[in-house]
Every structure is written in structure tokens, then in C-alpha cells.
């Protein structure tokens, strides 16, 4: 006879399988789906969301939870019950018609965003974004009902279950002065040269595959495709990533690939016994972003690994105008004016996130309307960065997130940077000679350490507890600030 927990786990497994199908549909829409098929995809998403919403909030699930909670469960099973209970309680707060309306709207909004971005015209996107914001406000209000947080906090907790805007704002207050002061010093110095060469897209993709393999991405359980906005999708035995190419800027391809491999490796390295269970995915987006950011930055942009990348580029392109590995390292980490978050250097990246965080909080609260969003973005960007946005695709249209109603996601990037700083501090304490590995393109010690310390656990622990276990202390902004100061003071001879 099956236990109450086993019955609950069996029911939940089927729900997770349906979620995976929805994720695969999303991957297909952004990579391979014909543009004229969006009508069918809207109906498919709506049908799946109707089934998923019903399962996640059903009286049958409520009964299974109650019976499992009545058992004397070991800690691992109790944690899984708590995670399923959390989703159950959140889903019950959301009217079915609202959940289905969002599922119908976001595929259409994504398609319109792509068109608006291509045409550099925010007016094309404005009407559908206004609809997304309206439904998102309703969602936030429903989720916050009876709780202790704001509607924005309720949305944030979809990605950072134990997070709050108060804690996020405190993190930004701790980061901002250090970043602004250091940026001022750096921009007073002469920058390294920029790349000035044409880099064939096909060869970029060949190098991207090499980089993915070096970082441990398992191609028997994944693949790389191109998309407008790079992303990672899936879990367990099917984890797919995308990247993009620009013949004048190969770093966009290379570091987007490494970033998404960080996400994918987290999912691929979760204990296989957790597949299709409540533990079978990352425990928070802050932890997820810590993996993508430490792969991309502390490891991928290190002096050692850029030497490896330099040699790969020499093999592929011959003389591309950079004669020394040290110069290439400085080019990769060049601090310069730029509009695009995903291409921003480590020093300025979090300033991009702070802009989005404040704007999306204002949108959800109703303090900012979509009609005024582009002007608000442009004004804030000029105030923060000192120059004007030149076109919409470099400003309010550059990110995919709002088209997909992912309000509350953006601050997890900066939280991930903070966590990455803590993890790297501990990793280099454990492996003081890590740089020599990286110079050979050998990521095995670094990625194995991350797998053992963090990735294998999936959602077994809450985010801050997982970080404390991995690092031996509570996470804080200090390690990230120290790392950035050391790195850019060295590069710019401060």
C-alpha cells in the first residue's frame, strides 16, 4: 500500500511533466515555430494552463496534502510537501480566468515585442504591454491578498520564494555607492581598445559549442539554438539553451552561451533521483542566476579563461587585431558606454537592473503607466549613465521579460551576482591555484565544486540556507564588491 506522501508525489509528478511540456512549447516558439502559427500556440498554452491551474489548486491535491502532512515524515519528504503546499496556496488565490488570460496573452505579446524590437518602435508594443501590465496588477493583488507583502512582493516571490522588495532595496543601497564611485574612477582612465574585426557567425557558433563543453554542458541532454533573446529551458534530461550572433561583437555570443550554460548546468546537475519531484528544479532564480553569473563572469571573464578563449579565436579567425592575451583580457572586461544589459560589463550591470527594478515596481503599483514608460526609461537611463538612449531597441524594448509578464524577475539577476561573489570567494579559498586550471580551459574543479556545494540539491534547501551551507556563512554584498574593486582596479591601474 502506498503511503500518503507517495500518493502526493505521484500526483505532483504528472503536474511537473505537464509543466515541462509547456516549457518545450515556449522553447519552440522562440526558436523554430513558424511566425504564422502564433494563433495555434495561444490556444495550446491556454489549454495547458487550464489543466495545470486545475491540478495545482484541486480539492484532490488539497486532500493529498492533508494526508501527507498527517504522516510523520523525514525532513526531505516534509520539505517537498511544504513546497507543493506553497504552490497550492498561491494557485488557489488566482482566478482560473486570470491565469488563462495571461497564458493566452503572453505568447501574442512576445511576438509583438519581437516585431516592435525589429522595427525600433515602442508604439507597436504599447497596447499589448498595457494589457499585460493590467493583468499582472490583478495577479499581484490576488496573490498578495491575505499576506504581508505588496502585490510586487507577491510577484517577486514566484522567482525568489523568501524574497521581499525591502531586502532587495537594501541590497541595492549597499551596492550602488561602490559601483558608482568605482565607475567614475574607471571612466577617467583610458579604456582598452575595442575589437574591430568581422567575425563569421558560423565560427562563433563553433566556438560557442566548445565553450559549452568546457563548462560541462551535456549535449546528450541538450542543444544550442539561436533566439532573439538568449535563454535556457528545461530540466533533468532535456535542458536546452539559446544564444545569438553579431559579426561585429562575438563576445555577445560567447558570453551569452556561457551564461545560459550556467543555468543549464544547474538543472542538468540536480540529483537524478529528484527528477519530476518538488526538488527537481532550482530553488530560486537568485540561486539560478548565481550559477549563470559565476560561469560567465568570475570564471569566464577571468584572466586565465580569457587566455584559453583567445587561443580559440586565433585558431578560428587568425589575426583578428589583438596581439596579446593580456590585452584580450582587458578588452573582454572593458568598461564603456553601452545600452544593452546583457552586454554590460560587471561594473555597470547591476545599475541596469536597478533601473528596471524601480520601473517595474512603479508599473505594478500603478505609479507609472505604460504610455509614459519609454520616457521614464529614457530619463532614468540618462540620469544613471550620463547619455541618452538612441533608439527603442537599446532602451525599453531590449528585454523580453515584460512581454512574458515576468515582473519580479529582474532583481534576481543582481541577487545572483551577490551570491556568485560569495561562492567565488569560498571557491578560491578552497582552490587557491584555480587560475592555472582556467588558463588551460579546465573548468572541472570549479564546476564540480559548484555541483557538489549547490547544484545537486535542487530545491532541497531554501536559497539562503543553501548559500550558507555552500559558503560557510550568510551571504552578503561584501564579497562581490571586493571582487569587482580588485578586478577593475587591476585592469585600470587605479
Active-site residues: which are they?
Answer: 260
Secondary structure, 3-state, the chain: CCCHHHHHHHHHHHHHHHHHHHHHHHHHHHHCCCHHHHHHHHHHHHHHHHHHHHHHHCHHHHHHHHHHHCCCCCHHHHHHHHHHHHHHHHHHCCCHHHHHHHHHHHHHHHHHHHHHHHHCCHHHHHHHHHHHHHHHHHHHHHHHCCCCCCHHHHHHCCCCCCCCHHHHHHHHHHHHHHHHHHHHHHHCCCCCCCCCCCCCHHHHHHHHHHHHHHCCCCHHHCCEEECCCCCEEEECCEEEEEECCCCCCHHHHHHHHHHHHHHHHHHHHCCHHHCCCCCCCCCCHHHHHHHHHHHHHHHCCCHHHHHHHHHHHHHHHCCCCCCCHHHHHHHHCCCCCCCCHHHCCHHHHHHHHHHHHHHHHHHHHCCCCHHHHHHHHHHHHHHHHCCCCCCHHHCCCCCCHHHHCCCCCCHHHHHHHHHHHHHHHHHHHHCCCHHHHHHCCCCHHHHHHHHHHCHHHCCCCCHHHHHHHHHCCCCCCHHHHHHHHHHHHHHCCC
Provide the grid cell at 328.
Answer: 584580450
First to last CA, the chain: 69
Q: Give the closest residue to 158 by CA, choosing from 31, 306, 297, 281.
A: 281
Give the whole-angstrom CA distance, residue 234 versus residue 22.
10
With beta carbons less than 8 A apart as the criterion, state whether 427 and 283 touch.
Answer: no
224-260 CB burial, b ≥16 within 10 A, e <16? beebebbbbbbbbebbbbbbbbeeebbbbbbbbbbbb
Give the whole-angstrom CA distance, residue 430 versus residue 107.
45
Which residues neighbour 412 within 8 Å (Cβ) at sequence distance 6 or greater?
Answer: 159, 160, 163, 284, 285, 286, 288, 289
Provide the grid cell at 240.
Answer: 536546452
Amino acid at each position: 500500500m502506498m503511503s500518503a506522501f507517495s500518493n502526493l508525489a505521484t500526483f505532483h509528478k504528472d503536474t511537473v511533466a505537464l509543466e515541462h511540456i509547456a516549457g518545450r512549447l515556449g522553447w519552440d516558439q522562440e526558436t523554430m515555430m513558424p511566425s504564422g502559427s502564433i494563433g495555434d500556440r495561444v490556444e495550446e498554452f491556454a489549454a495547458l494552463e487550464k489543466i495545470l491551474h486545475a491540478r495545482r489548486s484541486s480539492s484532490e491535491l488539497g486532500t493529498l496534502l492533508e494526508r501527507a502532512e498527517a504522516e510523520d515524515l523525514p525532513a526531505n519528504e516534509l520539505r517537498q510537501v511544504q513546497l507543493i503546499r506553497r504552490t497550492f496556496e498561491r494557485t488557489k488565490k488566482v482566478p482560473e480566468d486570470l491565469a488563462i488570460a495571461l497564458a493566452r496573452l503572453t505568447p501574442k505579446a512576445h511576438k509583438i515585442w519581437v516585431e516592435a524590437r525589429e522595427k525600433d518602435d515602442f508604439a507597436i508594443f504599447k497596447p499589448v504591454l498595457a494589457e499585460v501590465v493590467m493583468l499582472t496588477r490583478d495577479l499581484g493583488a490576488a496573490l498578495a491578498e491575505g499576506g504581508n507583502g505588496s502585490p510586487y512582493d507577491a510577484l517577486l516571490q514566484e522567482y525568489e520564494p523568501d524574497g521581499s522588495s525591502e531586502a532587495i532595496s537594501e541590497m541595492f543601497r549597499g551596492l550602488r555607492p561602490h559601483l558608482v564611485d568605482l565607475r567614475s574612477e574607471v571612466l577617467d582612465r583610458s579604456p582598452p581598445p575595442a575589437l574591430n574585426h568581422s567575425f563569421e557567425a558560423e565560427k562563433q557558433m563553433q566556438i560557442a559549442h566548445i565553450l559549452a563543453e568546457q563548462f560541462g554542458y551535456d549535449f546528450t541532454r541538450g542543444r544550442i539554438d539561436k533566439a532573439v533573446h538568449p535563454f535556457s529551458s528545461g530540466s533533468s534530461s532535456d535542458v536546452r539553451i539559446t544564444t545569438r550572433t553579431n559579426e561585429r561583437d562575438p563576445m555577445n555570443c560567447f558570453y551569452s552561451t556561457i551564461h545560459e550554460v550556467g543555468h543549464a548546468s544547474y538543472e542538468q546537475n540536480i540529483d537524478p533521483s529528484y527528477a519530476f519531484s518538488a526538488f527537481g528544479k532550482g530553488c530560486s532564480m537568485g540561486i539560478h542566476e548565481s550559477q549563470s553569473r559565476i560561469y560567465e563572469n568570475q570564471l569566464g571573464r577571468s584572466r586565465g579563461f580569457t587566455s584559453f578563449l583567445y587561443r580559440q579565436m586565433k585558431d578560428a579567425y587568425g589575426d583578428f587585431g589583438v596581439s596579446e592575451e593580456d590585452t584580450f583580457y582587458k578588452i573582454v572586461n572593458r568598461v564603456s558606454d553601452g545600452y544593452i544589459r546583457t552586454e554590460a560589463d560587471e561594473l555597470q550591470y547591476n545599475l541596469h537592473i536597478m533601473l528596471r527594478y524601480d520601473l517595474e515596481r512603479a508599473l505594478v503599483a500603478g505609479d507609472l503607466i505604460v504610455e509614459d514608460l519609454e520616457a521614464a526609461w529614457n530619463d532614468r537611463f540618462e540620469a544613471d549613465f550620463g547619455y541618452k538612449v538612441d533608439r527603442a531597441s537599446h532602451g525599453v524594448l531590449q528585454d523580453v521579460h515584460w512581454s512574458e509578464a515576468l515582473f519580479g524577475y529582474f532583481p534576481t539577476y543582481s541577487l545572483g551576482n551577490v551570491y556568485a561573489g560569495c561562492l567565488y570567494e569560498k571557491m578560491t579559498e578552497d582552490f587557491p591555484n584555480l587560475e592555472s586550471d582556467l588558463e588551460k580551459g579546465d573548468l572541472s574543479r570549479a564546476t564540480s565544486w559548484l555541483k557538489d556545494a549547490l547544484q545537486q540539491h535542487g530545491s532541497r534547501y531554501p536559497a539562503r540556507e543553501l548559500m550558507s551551507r555552500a559558503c560557510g556563512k550568510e551571504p552578503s554584498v561584501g564579497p562581490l564588491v571586493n571582487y569587482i574593486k580588485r578586478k577593475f582596479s587591476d585592469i585600470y591601474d587605479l
